[in-house]
Amino acid sequence: MNAINQMAVKDREKFIATLAQQEQSSQDIVKEIQHISTAVQDNYQSVNQNFNAHTEHITEQLQKAAMTLDSRITALENCTHEVARIVEFQRSLEQSLQSLEKTAQLERVLGEVRSNLALLRPVLEQLNKPRRITLVEADENHN
């Protein structure tokens, strides 16, 4: 059970680390988009002359950012599925452990019954042996 908890903690830590990496990547992408936007504002006059070239460049950067975000979303979905699978596995193991505990209790009870039967066996065998019964008459005056 401890190993499962450790595995769950490690998986959570991996998940949190992945989220942190993705957040950093998202911040980098936002900074890159902000940088591109600032460059467009600063160079408005030259953009008019080279509109097509800059438009293509921005489109490529945004497509790369979109692809990066898509891959991050896919990675998050995969992590979510893994965490759900691990949680389900943990529940299954806990149920199995509970069943094993109940089985162990039943085995202990059966063992105690066997022990009691073993203790009773000599007494029952003794009681089962044939006996001679002698009748004695009592004198009524002898009370």
Quick: pLDDT tens for 9-64.
Answer: 888 888 889 888 998 998 998 899 889 788 767 766 575 667 777 788 889 999 99
Q: Kindly state the average pLDDT of the residues 118-136.
A: 83
Contact in structure between 90 and 8 (CB atoms under 8 Å) = yes
Question: C-alpha distances in angstroms, 6 versus 2, 89, 104?
Answer: 6, 14, 26
The ranges assigned to domains in the chain are: 9-93
